[in-house]
Amino acid sequence: MASTWKELLVILISSSLVSNVVLSQFLGLCPFLGVSKKVETAAGMGTAVIFVITLASAVAGLIYQYILVPLDITYLQTIVFILVIAALVQFVEMVLKKFMPGLYVALGVYLPLITTNCAVLGVALKNVQKQYGILPSIVNGFATAAGFTVAIVILAGIREKIEYNDVPQSFKGMPIVLVTAGLMAIVFCGFAGLLRG
pLDDT computed for residue 57 by the predictor: 93
Q: How far apart are CA 140 and CA 124, in angstroms?
A: 9
**Mean pLDDT along residues 107-129:** 82
d(CA 38, CA 103): 12
Check: CB of residue 127 under 8 Å from CB of residue 59.
Answer: no
pLDDT at 152: 94
Model confidence pTM above 0.75? yes
CA atoms in the 13 A half-sphere facing the CB of 60: 37
pLDDT of residue 119: 86
* 67-97 residue pLDDT tens: 999 999 999 999 999 998 888 888 888 888 8
* Straight-line distance from the first to the last Cα atom of the chain, in angstroms, rounded to the nearest whole number: 21
Q: How far apart are CA 32 and CA 159, in angstroms?
A: 12
